[in-house]
Structure 1
Amino acid sequence: MELQFTDDEKAFREEVRAYLLANVPGHIRKAVYEERPLPREWQIEAQQILNQAGYAVPHWPVEWGGRDWSAVKRAILAEEIDRNSVPKPLAFNTALVGPVIAAFGSDEQKRRFLPAIANLDLWFCQGFSEPDAGSDLASLKTSAVRDGKVYRVNGQKIWTTYAHEADWIFCLVRSAQMDRPQQGISFLLMDMNIPGITVRPIPTIDGYHHVNEVYFDNVEVPVDNLVGEEGRGWDYAKYLLGQERTSMGNVGFSGRRLDRVRAIASQASGESGALINDPDFRRRLSWTEIELKALQLTQMRVVASARSPSDGPDPKTSILKIKGGELLQAAAGLLLDTLGPEALTAGFSAQHEGEDLHQGLDEKSAILSAYFSSRKYSIFGGSNEIQRNILAKAVLGLGRRV
């Protein structure tokens, strides 16, 4: 079964592909194809190229750089960005904090932040999870006490991706103690250079420094940096989760990774011939490609029936999250298998920063790093267990009172 697109959608795909190949530098696309960590300046350069064409924030309001495109066109754009080895727009900016500011921020906040967020002139990270508040986010303890024209913030966030790269952080903080834990939470924007903010790296198994602990010690945040109303941060967080979800299946990413698997496996590999001719390997590769095609069809069905973000996240996107992560992991396993016994000789130092690691990883080490990194897809952004609970309740109707 093949996907059916209109002539306009087909022309749009070709337009996007031509722009990406003509404008995104080859060294950046090569690094993405080889799954090497990108230096900060390369990520910024790529997003600014996308933003020039209106490709960075097409789901935003038109007055702030959005494009009045269908969800199908936005899904096509996301797929082409991935398939052509172009860095995705920074999700913390474009899919998370930006839409919240556009919907609930003051006019001054919109003018100050939205153009810079879209163009990655300001790099945001997300301060939600805490040591005792991960999936149970309502139990967060980081406090924000108002003192005149500032909030004094104290507490800790954890697993904060790119906090060491970021200029700003958007945080959920407890500004009041209420009967229900979801009440009394506010949404604050903080400059990472404010005195009292400390960032400490968390080494991960893929050898790449990308997550951190962030500590707040009596940090003074201007009251003007409160987004929306005090105490409504939980509502804004739910709105945030209902935003751009047309690429949750990572179809383009998995497709690109499987293309690379086929290319490497087709090369001669000694007396036994090319790995692509091994029956067991071909079976696993074919199964993964079939599953990816099924996911692509499912994603387009979900996208075609996309609801308004104000309705909250479509629970069916949990299917995309679960299956998309599983296929990324399966493709990473196939990619690692192309190394054969040489995978045992790959290695890297977990002490490198992103720039150093980009320079220091050979192809074998980059593949090994990508394999380890893929383990996170079943955990971050809402674990697969949480996603299955959502599907059970919202789609299957299980657990409802009768």
Structure 2
Amino acid sequence: MDFGFGPADEDFRREARAWLEEHLTGEFAAAAGQGGPGSEHERGDVRRAWERELGRGGWIGIGWDAEGDGSGQSAGGGGEASYGARRASLTQQVVWAEEYARVRAPARCGHVGENLLAPTLLAYGTREQKDEFLPPIARGEALWCQGYSEPGAGSDLAGVRTTAVRDENGGGAQGTYRVTGQKIWTSLAHEADWCFVLARTEPGSRRHHGLSFLLVPMDQPGRIDVRPIRQLTGTSEFNEVFFDGARARAAHIVGGEGNGWRVAMGLLGFERGVSTLAQQIGFAQELDRVVREALRAGAAADPVLRDRLTRQWADLRVMRWNALRTLGSSGTDVGSPSVAKLLWGGWHQRLGELAMAVRGTAAAVGPADWSADAPYELDALQRLFLFSRADTVYGGSDEIQRNIIAERVLGLPREAKGPVRGTP
């Protein structure tokens, strides 16, 4: 595969750099590099304003209409509207993601809507759903969260128990559902305007049957309760979300009732797209910081630590080329998302461990001005270590990813389900 950048891509790169240089100023520049994993509490108001600035500049939803002919119509001739504010090829989407990460622009707070929900609506949504939900995302106005995992149904989404029952007083396309249940590990639910929820709409159904993909407004006091989960870092990106008869319109079921599993799995495929390359730029910046710390502390003289640093650099290059290979494929490689998750989850966790190793005992010490009356803030490397402990769990644990590869790619027998060893 020849995944190179041509003259048009380099023109696009210059345009992106010029826009970022012009607009990443003032309070936006002050928020540079803030709001990433473990730091979602930083500059929330500024980052939301930055989201709207990106929308005004046409930098949200680039490539949504990549298969169109430039006239605002889809390539298939069906007369579908162009929802993206800026046309961009796949390589140009990669260029934007990389340039954004290189200047350490504020962490996005609208990435769930843009990178997960939007491509799902484009693939499975009705024309009315696209018209209603895509423009506010492209303007940076609507924030979304993902209602998948539940207690007892984390990586195993087929075990969800949240229900959505058709309101007896509503019928037809304008009817409503009442959603009841609990979701957990819901990122940014405390800020989101909407949540896409995987719920069981067929009573008595089991596993992946009878599920539907609903779009639920979060502004329902008394019907939706969001409770933050305090993490090792002291912050609360994740939340528990309790639905107590929350309303969702029947017209807001994506893909039709009972087809939620197909839509949910399609969304997970979009999760490992262009954004993974931007993620890797951020990883490279973190690795550079660890290397600088190793040089400052003298740890780089240790041949074992030096070898570990070299391995981290080499493994990051492997991840980049694997991501480019995946983007250039036909999209039929069902194991690619699992391979990508296994690669970056373990890599990032090892980087956090390495960050502490190069510091030695100093890694456990707070700032010199710390006092019991004013608990200190974690520094960037301490936060990296603590937050990355979860990297091999959230988004699908390593065990689940290996099972997917074994069963769906290698064709091995399904894992036997039975009592835990040592139990009757």
Q: Please, what TM-score do these two structures have when normalized by structure 2? A: 0.79
Asked whether 1:300 is paired with 2:324, we answer yes
Instruction: Kindly indicate whether residue 394 of structure 2 is the aligned counterpart of residue 370 of structure 1.
Output: no
> What corresponds to 1:356 in structure 2?
none
Moved more, 138-147 or 243-252: 243-252
In the TM superposition, 1:76-87 aligns within 5 A as 76-86=95-105, 87=107
Q: State the alpha-carbon separation in 2 of the partners of residues 67 and 169 from structure 1.
A: 26
Secondary structure, counterpart of 2:30 in structure 1? helix
The residue number in structure 2 matching 1:289 is 313
Task: Note the C-alpha offset of 1:127.
Answer: 0.8
Query: Is contact 2:142–2:193 with CA below 8 Å preserved after alignment?
Result: yes
**Aligned-pair distance for 1:229?**
1.6
Query: Offset of 1:178 from its aligned partner?
Result: 5.5
Q: 1:70 corresponds to which residue?
A: 89
Change (3 A) 1:18 1:395: farther
The structure carrying a bigger helix percent of its residues is 1
> Please, which runs of 5 or more residues in structure 2 have no aligned partner?
67-81, 368-373, 415-424
- Residue of structure 1 equivalent to 2:65: 61
**Where has structure 1 moved over 4 Å in runs of 4 or more?**
32-35, 359-362
CA contact (8 A) 1:156 1:213 kept: yes
Determine whether 1:258 maps to 2:287.
yes
- Match for 1:235 among 254, 262, 267? 262
| 8 Å CA contact retained: 1:207, 1:369 | no
| Structure 2 match to 1:215 | 242
Distance 1:326 1:266, change over 3 A: same
CA pair 276-42 structure 1, distance change in 2 beyond 3 A: farther
Q: CA–CA distance in 1 between the matches of 2:183 and 2:240?
A: 6
Aligned counterparts, 1:1-400, within 5 A: 5-24=5-24, 25-31=28-34, 36-37=39-40, 38-61=42-65, 63-65=82-84, 67-86=86-105, 87-88=107-108, 90-147=110-167, 148=170, 149-177=175-203, 180-194=206-220, 195-243=222-270, 245-248=273-276, 250-267=279-296, 269=297, 274-307=298-331, 314-346=334-366, 362=377, 364-399=378-413
**Segment drifting more, 323-332 vs 283-292:** 323-332
Q: 1:178 to 1:109 in 2, by over 3 A?
A: same
Deviation at 1:384, TM superposition (A): 1.7
Query: C-alpha displacement at 1:397, in angstroms?
Result: 3.8
Root mean square deviation of aligned Cα? 2.9
1:121 is displaced (CA, Å) by 1.0
The 1:330/1:59 distance shift into structure 2, 3 A limit, reads farther
Gaps of 5+ in 1: 348-358
Alpha-carbon distance in 2 for matches of 1:341, 1:21: 40
Any conservation in 2 of the 1:93–1:120 contact (CA below 8 Å)? Answer: no
Q: Would you say the 8 A contact 2:345–2:392 is kept in 1?
A: yes
- Structure with the bigger RCO (C-alpha within 8 Å, sep 6+) is 1
